[in-house]
Amino acid sequence: MEKGVKILNASGKLGVLIPGMGAVATTFMAGVQAVRKGYGKPIGSLTQMGTIRLGKRTDKRVPTIKEFVPLSDLEDMVFGGWDIFDDDMYAAAINAGVLDNKTLDMIRSELKSLKPLPAVFDQSYVKRLNGTHIKTGKTKMDLADQLRQDIRNFRSEHDISRAVMIWCGSTEVYIESSPVHESLEAFEKGLKNNDPAIAPSMIYAYAALSEKIPFANGAPNLTVDIPAMTELAKKNNVPLSGKDFKTGQTLMKTILAPGFKSRLLGVSGWFSTNILGNRDGEVLDDPDSFKSKEVSKLGALEYILQPELYPELYKDFYHKVRINYYPPRGDNKEGWDNIDIFGWLGYPMQVKVDFLCRDSILAAPLVLDLALFMDLAARAGMHGIQEWLSFYFKSPMVAENLYPEHDLFIQLKKLKNTLRHMMGEDLITHLGLEYYD
C-alpha cells in the first residue's frame, strides 16, 4: 500500500487575504516582495529556511522543507485584504515604522498598488480605534455576504487558484463562548439577528470558511475557536488554526519553561512586563482588549509546567503579565521577565530576561509559514483544527477534550512529523537504539 497522503499540486496563484493591514501585515507583504527581489532573506521562516531529517541519522537525508513538501512558490503569492483606514501598503508600512524607508522605497510601486478594501468593523469590539473605510449593512449576515463577494472578486481579478485568510487585525475585546457560538445553525441565526456575541473577526472567518478558504487567527480573539466554526470547516472541508502569533515574550517563555521542567527546577514566580508603542500597544491599552491578550498569554506556563503532576515544583507559582503602552518605543517592544526559580534543597535563584525585540519582524515569517502550510493542509484534504501548527501560536487551538501543547520543541517535532506523515516517510521517535545493535 502506498504511504503518505494524496496532496494536490501547488500550481497557480495563491491569494493571501488579510483582514487588518497594519504593522504585521505590511512587514509580511513588504518582506515577501523584498525576498522575491533578492533584497533580503526570509529569516525566521521554517518553510523558507528550515530543513527536515528523513530516515536514519546515517542516511544523511536532510532536504529543506520546501524541497520536501509541495509548497506554493513566493512568486505565486498575491496579496489582498481589508482595513478600516484606506492607506495603501506603502503608506501603511511607513506609518507602522517597522521597515526603514530605504527598504520600502525599493518596493514602493508594488506596495503602492496594494490597497485595502473597506472593512467590517464596529468600535464596540476595538474601543481605541476609529476608522472611516468601513462597510455598511443591515445585518451581520449582509456584511458576511459583502466579504464573500470581495473574495470572489479578488479571485477572478487576479486569476487565483487557491487562497488563505490570515487575521492580522487588532485585538478585539474579550468574548466568552456563548450559545450563539455552539452550532452553525445558531451562529447563522445570530448573524441575521445581529447578535452582539458575534465580533467582526468572526464575520471574516465565516465568509472565508463559507468560500472554502482556510482561516488562521493571528490575534487572541475568540474568532474561530468556537464549535460553529469547526462545524463549518468540517462541512466545507477547510482547515483552520489559531490563535495569537507566538512571537516575543511568550516565545521566550515556551523556550525557557520546558528547560526548567526538563531539569526539574522549581518555579515560584514569573513576572512579565512589556512596553510597546505601536498601534497594537494602543489597542491593548484598553482593558477589554488587554483581557483577550492576557488570557492568551497566561495559559502557556500552566500547561508546560503541569503543576498537578509536579506539585512540589510548580504548585502555586505566581504568574503575572503586564503590557504598558509607551509610544516612544514604536514597534520595538521591550519585554522583561523576572523568573524566581529554586533548585536542590529548595535554594532560590533568579533569571532575568530583557528581550529588546521587534514585534512585527518576529511575526512576519509566521504569517508566511502559516499561509503556505494552511494551503498545504487544504491541498492534503486536512480539515478543521490544524493542531500541528501549534508551533506558531501563543494559545493553540485543540480538540475539545485535549489540552494544548505549548512546549516549542514538542510543537516543532509534531510539525515535522506531520510533514513526514503527509509524504509517507517514517516518523522520527529519537529512540536511536538501532545504531548500537
Ligand X SMILES: NC(=O)c1ccc[n+]([C@@H]2O[C@H](COP(=O)([O-])OP(=O)(O)OC[C@H]3O[C@@H](n4cnc5c(N)ncnc54)[C@H](O)[C@@H]3O)[C@@H](O)[C@H]2O)c1
Closer Cβ to ligand X, 133 or 414, answer by number:
133
Stretch that binds ligand X, among 47-55, 168-176, 234-242, 307-315 (CB under 6 A): 168-176
Q: From the centroid of its chain, how far is CA 217?
A: 5
**30 is a site residue for ligand X (CB under 6 A):** no
**126 is a site residue for ligand X (CB under 6 A):** yes
Grouping H, G, I as helix, E, B as strand and the rest as coil, residue 330 is coil
In angstroms, give the least distance from the CB of 358 to ligand X. Answer: 9
Stretch that binds ligand X, among 33-41, 121-129, 256-264, 302-310 (CB under 6 A): 121-129
Q: From the centroid of its chain, how far is CA 105?
A: 28
From 29, 32, 69, 96, residue interacting with ligand X (rule: CB under 6 A): 96
Stretch that binds ligand X, among 43-51, 115-123, 155-163, 304-312 (CB under 6 A): 115-123
Q: In residues, how long is the chain?
A: 437
Closer Cβ to ligand X, 21 or 228, answer by number:
21
- Residue number of the CB atom closest to ligand X: 22
Could you give the strand order of the β-sheet that contains 318-325, starting from the edge strand earlier in sequence?
A: 318-325, 266-276, 334-342, 348-356
Cβ burial of 345 (10 Å; 0-12, 13-18, 19+) is exposed
List of residues 6+ apart from 32 with CB closer than 8 A: 42, 74, 77, 79, 368
Q: Which of residues 250-289 bind ligand X (CB under 6 A)?
A: 278-280, 283
In angstroms, give the least distance from the CB of 220 to ligand X. Answer: 7
* Binding flags for ligand X, 323-362, as an x/- string (CB under 6 A): ------------------------------------xx-x
Q: From the centroid of its chain, how far is CA 124?
A: 24
Per residue in 363-376, is it b (16+ CB within 10 Å) or e — as a string?
bbbbbbbbbbbbbb
**168 is a site residue for ligand X (CB under 6 A):** yes
Cβ burial of 179 (10 Å; 0-12, 13-18, 19+) is exposed
From 170, 241, 332, 411, residue interacting with ligand X (rule: CB under 6 A): 170
In angstroms, give the least distance from the CB of 360 to ligand X. Answer: 5
Element housing 258 (H / E):
helix 249-262
Q: What is the gyration radius of the CA atoms in the chain, in angstroms?
A: 22
Q: Which residues bind ligand X (CB under 6 A)?
A: 19-24, 82-85, 96, 119-121, 126, 129, 131, 168-171, 200, 218-219, 244-245, 247-248, 278-280, 283, 359-360, 362-363
